[in-house]
A and B are shown apart, each in its own frame.
Chain A
Protein backbone atom coordinates (compact mmCIF):
# COMPACT_ATOMS: atom_id res chain seq x y z
CA UNK A 1 0.00 0.00 0.00
CA UNK A 2 1.36 3.37 -1.01
CA UNK A 3 0.63 6.27 1.37
CA UNK A 4 -2.36 8.25 0.20
CA UNK A 5 -0.91 11.63 1.13
CA UNK A 6 1.61 11.41 -1.71
CA UNK A 7 1.47 12.67 -5.29
CA UNK A 8 3.27 10.85 -8.07
CA UNK A 9 4.82 11.49 -11.47
CA UNK A 10 4.62 9.10 -14.41
CA UNK A 11 8.40 8.82 -14.15
CA UNK A 12 7.91 7.31 -10.64
CA UNK A 13 9.08 10.09 -8.34
CA UNK A 14 6.80 10.83 -5.38
CA UNK A 15 6.26 14.11 -3.63
CA UNK A 16 4.73 15.01 -0.26
CA UNK A 17 3.69 18.64 0.01
CA UNK A 18 3.45 20.13 3.52
CA UNK A 19 2.94 23.88 3.42
CA UNK A 20 5.69 25.31 1.24
CA UNK A 21 7.88 22.23 1.49
CA UNK A 22 7.93 19.28 -0.89
CA UNK A 23 9.65 16.07 0.16
CA UNK A 24 10.71 14.03 -2.91
CA UNK A 25 11.66 10.39 -3.39
CA UNK A 26 11.11 7.48 -5.75
CA UNK A 27 8.43 4.83 -5.54
CA UNK A 28 8.62 1.17 -4.59
CA UNK A 29 7.79 0.38 -8.24
CA UNK A 30 10.84 2.32 -9.42
CA UNK A 31 13.07 0.65 -6.84
CA UNK A 32 11.91 -2.85 -7.73
CA UNK A 33 12.47 -2.21 -11.43
CA UNK A 34 15.88 -0.62 -10.97
CA UNK A 35 17.18 -3.18 -8.48
CA UNK A 36 20.88 -3.74 -7.79
CA UNK A 37 21.32 -0.06 -6.95
CA UNK A 38 24.91 1.11 -6.64
CA UNK A 39 25.06 4.90 -6.57
CA UNK A 40 22.96 7.97 -5.84
CA UNK A 41 23.80 11.56 -6.71
CA UNK A 42 21.65 14.23 -5.03
CA UNK A 43 21.87 18.03 -5.19
CA UNK A 44 23.39 20.02 -2.33
CA UNK A 45 21.39 22.25 -0.03
CA UNK A 46 20.88 25.59 -1.76
CA UNK A 47 20.69 24.14 -5.26
CA UNK A 48 17.72 25.03 -7.45
CA UNK A 49 15.55 22.29 -8.93
CA UNK A 50 13.10 22.78 -11.80
CA UNK A 51 9.89 20.97 -12.71
CA UNK A 52 10.55 18.22 -15.23
CA UNK A 53 14.31 18.64 -15.08
CA UNK A 54 16.89 16.29 -13.62
CA UNK A 55 17.86 16.97 -10.00
CA UNK A 56 20.04 13.92 -9.57
CA UNK A 57 20.92 10.44 -10.76
CA UNK A 58 20.46 6.95 -9.48
CA UNK A 59 22.61 4.17 -10.82
CA UNK A 60 21.98 0.45 -10.96
CA UNK A 61 24.28 -2.25 -12.27
CA UNK A 62 22.90 -1.83 -15.74
CA UNK A 63 22.04 1.81 -16.17
CA UNK A 64 22.05 5.29 -14.79
CA UNK A 65 18.66 7.01 -14.54
CA UNK A 66 17.88 10.68 -14.04
CA UNK A 67 15.64 11.80 -11.20
CA UNK A 68 13.07 14.35 -12.41
CA UNK A 69 11.78 17.02 -10.09
CA UNK A 70 8.01 17.35 -9.65
CA UNK A 71 8.38 20.93 -8.35
CA UNK A 72 10.47 24.04 -8.85
CA UNK A 73 12.28 25.52 -5.86
CA UNK A 74 15.34 25.51 -3.65
CA UNK A 75 16.76 22.43 -1.95
CA UNK A 76 16.57 22.98 1.82
CA UNK A 77 17.58 19.46 2.88
CA UNK A 78 19.30 16.57 1.13
CA UNK A 79 19.28 13.04 2.54
CA UNK A 80 23.04 12.67 2.81
CA UNK A 81 22.92 9.28 4.54
CA UNK A 82 20.88 7.66 1.79
CA UNK A 83 23.81 7.31 -0.66
CA UNK A 84 25.62 5.04 1.80
CA UNK A 85 22.45 3.16 2.70
CA UNK A 86 20.81 2.42 -0.63
CA UNK A 87 19.00 -0.58 0.90
CA UNK A 88 16.72 1.98 2.57
CA UNK A 89 15.15 2.48 -0.87
CA UNK A 90 13.91 -1.11 -0.79
CA UNK A 91 13.01 -1.05 2.89
CA UNK A 92 11.21 2.30 3.16
CA UNK A 93 10.91 4.04 -0.21
CA UNK A 94 8.30 6.45 1.17
CA UNK A 95 9.97 6.86 4.57
CA UNK A 96 13.62 7.11 5.47
CA UNK A 97 14.61 6.86 1.78
CA UNK A 98 13.32 10.36 1.00
CA UNK A 99 15.83 12.20 -1.19
CA UNK A 100 15.43 15.96 -0.99
CA UNK A 101 13.21 18.57 0.62
CA UNK A 102 12.48 21.56 -1.56
CA UNK A 103 11.03 24.98 -0.72
CA UNK A 104 8.43 25.23 -3.47
CA UNK A 105 8.27 28.28 -5.75
CA UNK A 106 6.08 26.54 -8.36
CA UNK A 107 4.29 23.17 -8.20
CA UNK A 108 3.85 20.69 -11.02
CA UNK A 109 0.53 20.73 -12.85
CA UNK A 110 -0.24 17.10 -13.42
CA UNK A 111 0.77 14.95 -10.46
CA UNK A 112 -1.21 11.75 -9.88
CA UNK A 113 -2.89 10.74 -6.67
CA UNK A 114 -2.16 7.29 -5.28
CA UNK A 115 -5.11 5.61 -7.05
CA UNK A 116 -4.11 7.00 -10.44
CA UNK A 117 -0.49 6.02 -9.78
CA UNK A 118 -1.45 2.45 -8.82
CA UNK A 119 -3.23 2.11 -12.18
CA UNK A 120 -0.27 3.64 -13.98
CA UNK A 121 2.09 1.04 -12.48
CA UNK A 122 -0.28 -1.78 -13.35
CA UNK A 123 -0.44 -0.58 -16.95
CA UNK A 124 3.35 -0.51 -17.15
CA UNK A 125 3.48 -4.09 -15.92
Chain B
Protein backbone atom coordinates (compact mmCIF):
# COMPACT_ATOMS: atom_id res chain seq x y z
CA UNK B 1 0.00 0.00 0.00
CA UNK B 2 0.95 3.65 0.11
CA UNK B 3 2.48 3.35 -3.32
CA UNK B 4 2.41 7.08 -3.83
CA UNK B 5 4.17 7.72 -0.56
CA UNK B 6 6.84 5.15 -1.19
CA UNK B 7 7.48 6.69 -4.59
CA UNK B 8 7.39 10.20 -3.24
CA UNK B 9 9.52 10.92 -0.21
CA UNK B 10 8.25 13.89 1.76
CA UNK B 11 10.05 17.07 2.50
CA UNK B 12 13.31 16.29 4.36
CA UNK B 13 14.60 14.03 1.62
CA UNK B 14 13.45 15.88 -1.46
CA UNK B 15 15.83 15.38 -4.34
CA UNK B 16 18.30 18.23 -4.64
CA UNK B 17 16.79 19.45 -7.90
CA UNK B 18 13.27 19.86 -6.47
CA UNK B 19 11.99 23.39 -6.91
CA UNK B 20 10.34 25.15 -3.99
CA UNK B 21 7.99 28.12 -4.06
CA UNK B 22 8.53 31.22 -1.94
CA UNK B 23 5.89 29.86 0.45
CA UNK B 24 7.63 26.57 1.33
CA UNK B 25 8.29 27.54 4.95
CA UNK B 26 4.75 28.93 5.31
CA UNK B 27 3.39 25.53 4.28
CA UNK B 28 5.65 23.64 6.66
CA UNK B 29 4.66 25.88 9.56
CA UNK B 30 0.99 25.16 8.77
CA UNK B 31 1.70 21.42 9.00
CA UNK B 32 1.31 20.73 5.29
CA UNK B 33 2.28 17.39 3.82
CA UNK B 34 4.65 18.25 1.00
CA UNK B 35 4.93 16.06 -2.08
CA UNK B 36 6.83 16.31 -5.35
CA UNK B 37 4.54 17.63 -8.08
CA UNK B 38 5.89 18.28 -11.59
CA UNK B 39 9.35 18.92 -10.17
CA UNK B 40 8.11 21.17 -7.36
CA UNK B 41 7.70 20.54 -3.66
CA UNK B 42 4.02 21.37 -3.10
CA UNK B 43 1.49 21.01 -0.26
CA UNK B 44 -0.88 18.14 -1.08
CA UNK B 45 -2.91 18.70 2.08
CA UNK B 46 -2.92 20.50 5.41
CA UNK B 47 -5.76 18.89 7.40
CA UNK B 48 -7.48 16.45 5.07
CA UNK B 49 -9.01 16.56 1.63
CA UNK B 50 -12.67 16.26 2.71
CA UNK B 51 -12.33 19.03 5.26
CA UNK B 52 -10.42 21.28 2.88
CA UNK B 53 -12.87 20.74 -0.01
CA UNK B 54 -15.76 21.64 2.30
CA UNK B 55 -13.97 24.79 3.44
CA UNK B 56 -13.67 26.02 -0.15
CA UNK B 57 -17.31 25.25 -1.01
CA UNK B 58 -18.68 26.91 2.15
CA UNK B 59 -16.16 29.62 3.05
CA UNK B 60 -12.89 30.16 1.19
CA UNK B 61 -9.50 28.58 0.69
CA UNK B 62 -6.04 29.89 -0.08
CA UNK B 63 -3.80 28.12 -2.61
CA UNK B 64 -0.12 28.45 -3.45
CA UNK B 65 0.09 27.99 -7.21
CA UNK B 66 3.73 29.02 -7.48
CA UNK B 67 4.47 25.91 -9.51
CA UNK B 68 2.35 26.95 -12.49
CA UNK B 69 4.20 28.37 -15.47
CA UNK B 70 3.77 32.11 -16.09
CA UNK B 71 4.85 33.69 -19.35
CA UNK B 72 4.71 37.25 -20.68
CA UNK B 73 4.28 37.64 -24.44
CA UNK B 74 4.78 41.08 -25.98
CA UNK B 75 5.97 42.89 -29.06
CA UNK B 76 4.42 44.13 -32.33
CA UNK B 77 3.35 40.63 -33.44
CA UNK B 78 2.30 39.19 -30.08
CA UNK B 79 -1.28 38.66 -31.25
CA UNK B 80 -0.26 36.98 -34.52
CA UNK B 81 2.22 34.78 -32.65
CA UNK B 82 -0.45 33.67 -30.16
CA UNK B 83 -2.90 32.91 -32.94
CA UNK B 84 -0.34 30.53 -34.44
CA UNK B 85 0.47 29.03 -31.02
CA UNK B 86 -2.95 28.27 -29.59
CA UNK B 87 -6.56 27.49 -30.45
CA UNK B 88 -8.56 30.47 -29.18
CA UNK B 89 -8.78 33.78 -31.05
CA UNK B 90 -6.31 36.16 -29.42
CA UNK B 91 -7.58 39.00 -31.62
CA UNK B 92 -11.04 38.70 -30.06
CA UNK B 93 -9.81 39.10 -26.48
CA UNK B 94 -10.53 42.60 -25.20
CA UNK B 95 -8.04 44.39 -22.94
CA UNK B 96 -8.24 43.03 -19.41
CA UNK B 97 -10.02 39.84 -20.47
CA UNK B 98 -9.00 36.17 -20.29
CA UNK B 99 -9.72 33.09 -22.40
CA UNK B 100 -9.13 29.37 -21.95
CA UNK B 101 -7.20 27.79 -24.84
CA UNK B 102 -5.25 24.74 -25.93
CA UNK B 103 -1.86 24.05 -27.40
CA UNK B 104 -2.05 21.29 -30.01
CA UNK B 105 0.53 19.38 -32.01
CA UNK B 106 0.39 18.94 -35.80
CA UNK B 107 -1.94 15.95 -35.33
CA UNK B 108 -4.43 18.06 -33.36
CA UNK B 109 -3.54 16.28 -30.12
CA UNK B 110 -3.32 18.24 -26.88
CA UNK B 111 0.03 19.47 -25.59
CA UNK B 112 -1.35 21.68 -22.84
CA UNK B 113 -4.30 23.77 -21.73
CA UNK B 114 -3.63 27.39 -20.89
CA UNK B 115 -5.19 30.65 -19.83
CA UNK B 116 -4.53 33.52 -22.18
CA UNK B 117 -4.70 37.04 -20.70
CA UNK B 118 -4.66 40.30 -22.69
CA UNK B 119 -3.15 43.04 -20.56
CA UNK B 120 -5.56 45.54 -18.98
CA UNK B 121 -5.87 48.87 -20.81
CA UNK B 122 -3.99 50.74 -18.06
CA UNK B 123 -0.92 48.46 -18.26
CA UNK B 124 2.42 49.87 -19.36
CA UNK B 125 2.21 47.45 -22.28
CA UNK B 126 -1.46 47.42 -23.17
CA UNK B 127 -0.78 45.30 -26.28
CA UNK B 128 0.98 42.57 -24.34
CA UNK B 129 -0.36 39.22 -23.19
CA UNK B 130 0.18 36.86 -20.29
CA UNK B 131 -0.08 33.08 -20.45
CA UNK B 132 -0.49 30.61 -17.58
CA UNK B 133 0.63 27.08 -18.38
CA UNK B 134 0.75 23.79 -16.47
CA UNK B 135 3.86 23.09 -14.41
CA UNK B 136 4.23 19.61 -15.87
CA UNK B 137 4.26 20.96 -19.42
CA UNK B 138 6.14 24.20 -18.81
CA UNK B 139 9.45 23.12 -20.33
CA UNK B 140 7.85 21.71 -23.47
CA UNK B 141 5.50 24.71 -23.82
CA UNK B 142 8.37 27.19 -23.55
CA UNK B 143 10.45 25.32 -26.12
CA UNK B 144 7.50 25.37 -28.46
CA UNK B 145 6.81 29.06 -27.81
CA UNK B 146 10.43 29.94 -28.47
CA UNK B 147 10.49 27.88 -31.68
CA UNK B 148 7.33 29.52 -33.06
CA UNK B 149 8.49 32.97 -31.88
CA UNK B 150 11.37 32.84 -34.35
CA UNK B 151 8.86 33.57 -37.15
CA UNK B 152 7.39 36.61 -35.38
CA UNK B 153 8.51 39.95 -33.96
CA UNK B 154 7.64 38.94 -30.41
CA UNK B 155 9.29 38.38 -27.04
CA UNK B 156 8.47 35.37 -24.87
CA UNK B 157 9.52 35.95 -21.27
CA UNK B 158 9.30 33.17 -18.69
CA UNK B 159 8.19 34.88 -15.44
CA UNK B 160 7.67 31.74 -13.38
CA UNK B 161 10.52 32.72 -11.06
CA UNK B 162 9.85 36.48 -10.98
CA UNK B 163 6.13 36.21 -10.15
CA UNK B 164 4.43 34.17 -7.47
CA UNK B 165 0.85 32.97 -7.82
CA UNK B 166 -1.66 32.79 -4.99
CA UNK B 167 -5.34 31.90 -5.43
CA UNK B 168 -8.29 32.47 -3.16
CA UNK B 169 -11.40 30.42 -3.95
CA UNK B 170 -14.80 30.12 -2.35
CA UNK B 171 -17.96 32.16 -1.73
CA UNK B 172 -16.22 34.49 0.75
CA UNK B 173 -13.35 35.30 -1.64
CA UNK B 174 -14.51 38.78 -2.59
CA UNK B 175 -15.34 39.83 0.98
CA UNK B 176 -11.92 38.70 2.16
CA UNK B 177 -9.88 40.02 -0.74
CA UNK B 178 -11.59 43.42 -0.75
CA UNK B 179 -10.25 44.03 2.77
CA UNK B 180 -6.68 44.05 1.49
CA UNK B 181 -7.10 45.00 -2.19
CA UNK B 182 -7.24 48.62 -3.36
CA UNK B 183 -9.18 47.88 -6.58
CA UNK B 184 -12.98 47.56 -6.76
CA UNK B 185 -13.50 43.80 -6.99
CA UNK B 186 -17.26 44.03 -7.47
CA UNK B 187 -16.56 45.61 -10.87
CA UNK B 188 -14.14 42.85 -11.92
CA UNK B 189 -15.97 40.33 -14.12
CA UNK B 190 -15.39 36.59 -14.38
CA UNK B 191 -12.35 35.87 -16.57
CA UNK B 192 -11.16 39.48 -16.29
CA UNK B 193 -8.07 40.88 -14.57
CA UNK B 194 -6.75 44.19 -13.37
CA UNK B 195 -3.74 46.07 -12.11
CA UNK B 196 -4.19 46.71 -8.41
CA UNK B 197 -2.50 46.61 -5.03
CA UNK B 198 -2.89 43.88 -2.44
CA UNK B 199 -1.64 44.86 1.03
CA UNK B 200 0.26 47.68 -0.66
CA UNK B 201 2.04 45.47 -3.19
CA UNK B 202 1.36 46.35 -6.85
CA UNK B 203 0.27 43.26 -8.79
CA UNK B 204 -2.28 41.86 -11.20
CA UNK B 205 -5.34 40.01 -9.99
CA UNK B 206 -7.75 37.92 -12.06
CA UNK B 207 -11.23 36.60 -11.35
CA UNK B 208 -10.40 33.04 -12.33
CA UNK B 209 -9.91 29.70 -10.64
CA UNK B 210 -9.99 25.94 -10.76
CA UNK B 211 -12.54 24.95 -8.15
CA UNK B 212 -15.97 25.90 -9.54
CA UNK B 213 -16.25 28.67 -6.94
CA UNK B 214 -15.91 32.42 -7.23
CA UNK B 215 -12.41 33.63 -6.52
CA UNK B 216 -9.23 35.33 -7.59
CA UNK B 217 -5.72 34.51 -8.70
CA UNK B 218 -3.01 37.00 -7.76
CA UNK B 219 0.29 37.35 -9.61
CA UNK B 220 2.62 38.51 -6.89
CA UNK B 221 6.04 40.09 -7.56
CA UNK B 222 8.75 37.77 -6.31
CA UNK B 223 9.76 38.37 -2.70
CA UNK B 224 6.34 39.58 -1.60
CA UNK B 225 4.60 36.17 -1.58
CA UNK B 226 4.88 35.48 2.19
CA UNK B 227 3.57 38.94 3.07
CA UNK B 228 0.61 38.62 0.69
CA UNK B 229 -0.10 35.02 1.82
CA UNK B 230 -0.18 36.10 5.47
CA UNK B 231 -2.34 39.13 4.67
CA UNK B 232 -4.92 36.88 3.00
CA UNK B 233 -4.95 34.45 5.92
CA UNK B 234 -5.36 37.27 8.42
CA UNK B 235 -8.11 39.01 6.43
CA UNK B 236 -9.90 35.67 6.02
CA UNK B 237 -9.62 34.46 9.59
CA UNK B 238 -13.11 35.62 10.56
CA UNK B 239 -14.53 34.18 7.32
CA UNK B 240 -13.21 30.65 7.80
CA UNK B 241 -10.38 30.96 5.25
CA UNK B 242 -7.67 28.30 5.49
CA UNK B 243 -4.83 27.08 3.31
CA UNK B 244 -5.83 24.32 0.87
CA UNK B 245 -3.60 21.70 -0.74
CA UNK B 246 -3.42 20.30 -4.23
CA UNK B 247 -5.37 17.19 -3.18
CA UNK B 248 -8.56 19.13 -2.45
CA UNK B 249 -7.92 21.33 -5.49
CA UNK B 250 -8.05 18.23 -7.70
CA UNK B 251 -11.29 17.05 -6.10
CA UNK B 252 -12.86 20.50 -6.45
CA UNK B 253 -11.90 20.90 -10.12
CA UNK B 254 -13.17 17.38 -10.83
CA UNK B 255 -16.56 18.17 -9.26
CA UNK B 256 -16.65 21.36 -11.33
CA UNK B 257 -16.07 19.38 -14.54
CA UNK B 258 -12.77 21.08 -15.33
CA UNK B 259 -10.22 18.98 -17.22
CA UNK B 260 -6.80 18.26 -15.75
CA UNK B 261 -3.91 17.82 -18.14
CA UNK B 262 -2.61 14.25 -17.95
CA UNK B 263 -6.09 12.94 -17.17
CA UNK B 264 -9.04 14.23 -19.27
CA UNK B 265 -6.67 15.69 -21.84
CA UNK B 266 -3.20 14.61 -22.92
CA UNK B 267 -1.05 13.88 -25.98
CA UNK B 268 -3.59 11.28 -27.17
CA UNK B 269 -6.77 13.37 -27.02
CA UNK B 270 -8.10 16.11 -29.28
CA UNK B 271 -10.30 19.00 -28.13
CA UNK B 272 -13.35 17.86 -30.07
CA UNK B 273 -13.74 14.54 -28.23
CA UNK B 274 -12.87 16.30 -24.94
CA UNK B 275 -15.88 18.67 -25.29
CA UNK B 276 -13.51 21.62 -25.64
CA UNK B 277 -14.59 22.83 -29.10
CA UNK B 278 -15.69 26.06 -27.45
CA UNK B 279 -12.02 26.87 -26.83
CA UNK B 280 -11.11 26.29 -30.50
CA UNK B 281 -11.79 29.09 -32.99
CA UNK B 282 -11.30 27.96 -36.59
CA UNK B 283 -10.91 31.55 -37.89
CA UNK B 284 -7.12 31.57 -37.54
CA UNK B 285 -4.23 29.37 -38.58
CA UNK B 286 -3.07 27.60 -35.38
CA UNK B 287 -0.89 24.51 -35.09
CA UNK B 288 -3.14 21.45 -35.33
CA UNK B 289 -6.01 23.17 -37.14
CA UNK B 290 -5.76 21.07 -40.32
CA UNK B 291 -5.73 17.87 -38.29
CA UNK B 292 -8.91 18.96 -36.48
CA UNK B 293 -10.57 19.71 -39.84
CA UNK B 294 -9.70 16.19 -40.98
CA UNK B 295 -11.14 14.70 -37.77
CA UNK B 296 -14.35 16.69 -38.24
CA UNK B 297 -14.62 15.64 -41.90
CA UNK B 298 -14.19 12.01 -40.84
CA UNK B 299 -17.09 12.36 -38.40
CA UNK B 300 -15.06 12.47 -35.17
CA UNK B 301 -12.86 9.95 -33.41
CA UNK B 302 -15.62 7.60 -32.32
CA UNK B 303 -15.24 8.39 -28.65
CA UNK B 304 -16.28 11.17 -26.29
CA UNK B 305 -15.47 12.37 -22.80
CA UNK B 306 -18.41 11.87 -20.43
CA UNK B 307 -19.23 12.28 -16.79
CA UNK B 308 -20.18 9.20 -14.77
CA UNK B 309 -21.90 9.07 -11.43
CA UNK B 310 -22.29 6.09 -9.13
CA UNK B 311 -23.65 5.38 -5.68
CA UNK B 312 -21.71 2.13 -5.54
CA UNK B 313 -19.46 1.66 -2.52
CA UNK B 314 -16.52 1.49 -4.89
CA UNK B 315 -15.10 4.52 -6.59
CA UNK B 316 -14.12 4.48 -10.26
CA UNK B 317 -10.40 5.31 -10.51
CA UNK B 318 -8.12 6.35 -13.32
CA UNK B 319 -7.58 3.53 -15.80
CA UNK B 320 -10.52 1.36 -14.71
CA UNK B 321 -12.35 -0.11 -17.73
CA UNK B 322 -15.85 1.10 -18.54
CA UNK B 323 -18.12 -1.62 -19.85
CA UNK B 324 -21.57 -2.07 -21.36
CA UNK B 325 -23.02 -5.56 -20.92
CA UNK B 326 -19.61 -7.10 -20.38
CA UNK B 327 -17.91 -5.41 -23.33
CA UNK B 328 -15.23 -2.79 -22.61
CA UNK B 329 -16.21 0.48 -24.28
CA UNK B 330 -14.00 3.00 -22.48
CA UNK B 331 -11.74 3.87 -19.57
CA UNK B 332 -11.74 6.24 -16.61
CA UNK B 333 -9.67 9.49 -16.77
CA UNK B 334 -10.29 10.79 -13.22
CA UNK B 335 -12.35 9.32 -10.43
CA UNK B 336 -13.09 10.52 -6.94
CA UNK B 337 -15.48 10.54 -4.10
CA UNK B 338 -17.49 13.73 -4.44
CA UNK B 339 -17.54 15.36 -1.00
CA UNK B 340 -20.00 18.03 -2.15
CA UNK B 341 -22.52 15.68 -3.83
CA UNK B 342 -22.20 13.18 -0.96
CA UNK B 343 -23.40 15.85 1.48
CA UNK B 344 -27.04 14.82 1.08
CA UNK B 345 -26.17 11.57 2.86
CA UNK B 346 -25.93 9.28 -0.16
CA UNK B 347 -22.27 8.49 -0.88
CA UNK B 348 -21.65 9.72 -4.42
CA UNK B 349 -18.64 8.91 -6.53
CA UNK B 350 -17.86 10.69 -9.78
CA UNK B 351 -15.63 10.00 -12.76
CA UNK B 352 -14.78 11.21 -16.20
CA UNK B 353 -14.16 8.66 -18.93
CA UNK B 354 -13.75 8.38 -22.65
CA UNK B 355 -16.44 6.06 -24.01
CA UNK B 356 -17.45 4.97 -27.50
CA UNK B 357 -19.79 7.65 -28.88
CA UNK B 358 -22.88 5.42 -28.97
CA UNK B 359 -22.66 5.08 -25.17
CA UNK B 360 -22.15 8.79 -24.48
CA UNK B 361 -25.80 9.91 -24.16
CA UNK B 362 -26.84 11.30 -20.76
CA UNK B 363 -28.66 8.59 -18.80
CA UNK B 364 -26.87 5.63 -20.43
CA UNK B 365 -26.37 2.88 -17.88
CA UNK B 366 -22.80 1.53 -17.89
CA UNK B 367 -20.48 -0.33 -15.55
CA UNK B 368 -17.00 0.37 -14.22
CA UNK B 369 -14.80 -2.61 -13.59
CA UNK B 370 -12.89 -2.82 -10.32
CA UNK B 371 -10.88 -5.99 -9.71
CA UNK B 372 -12.94 -7.95 -12.28
CA UNK B 373 -16.21 -6.87 -10.65
CA UNK B 374 -18.66 -4.69 -12.57
CA UNK B 375 -20.23 -1.86 -10.59
CA UNK B 376 -23.09 0.25 -12.00
CA UNK B 377 -22.69 3.87 -13.08
CA UNK B 378 -24.67 6.25 -15.23
CA UNK B 379 -23.64 8.84 -17.81
CA UNK B 380 -24.40 12.26 -16.39
CA UNK B 381 -24.06 15.84 -17.54
CA UNK B 382 -20.87 17.75 -16.76
CA UNK B 383 -20.14 19.60 -14.56
CA UNK B 384 -21.13 17.43 -11.59
CA UNK B 385 -21.31 20.53 -9.40
CA UNK B 386 -22.34 24.06 -10.28
CA UNK B 387 -22.41 26.81 -7.68
CA UNK B 388 -25.53 28.87 -7.15
CA UNK B 389 -24.98 32.35 -8.56
Contacts and interface: CB of A to CB of B under 8 A. Distances in A.
Contacts of A33: 2, 5, 33
Listed from nearest, the 4 A-B pairs whose CB atoms lie closest are A125-B10, A65-B1, A61-B49, A61-B337
Interface of B: 1-6, 9-13, 33, 48-50, 247, 250-251, 313-315, 317, 336-337, 339, 347, 371
A32 to B, nearest CB: 10
Contacts of A13: 1
21 contacts: A11-B1, A12-B1, A12-B2, A13-B1, A30-B1, A38-B315, A39-B315, A59-B314, A61-B50, A61-B251, A61-B336, A61-B339, A62-B251, A64-B315, A64-B317, A65-B1, A66-B3, A123-B13, A124-B6, A125-B9, A125-B13
Interface string A55-77: 00111111111111000000000
A41 B373 CA distance: 12
Contacts of B315: 38-39, 59, 64
A36 interface: yes
Interface residues of A, number: 28
A35 interface: yes
Contacts of A62: 49, 247, 250-251, 336
Contacts of A65: 1-4
Contact of B48 (A11, A36, A63): A36
A124 B337 contact: no
Interface in A19-44: 26, 30, 33-36, 38-39, 41
Given A36-B48, A41-B371, A62-B251, 15 more contacts: A12-B1, A12-B2, A30-B2, A36-B49, A38-B337, A39-B314, A60-B49, A61-B247, A61-B336, A64-B315, A65-B2, A65-B3, A67-B1, A123-B13, A125-B13
Contacts of B313: 39
A123 B250 CA distance: 28
Contacts of B9: 124-125
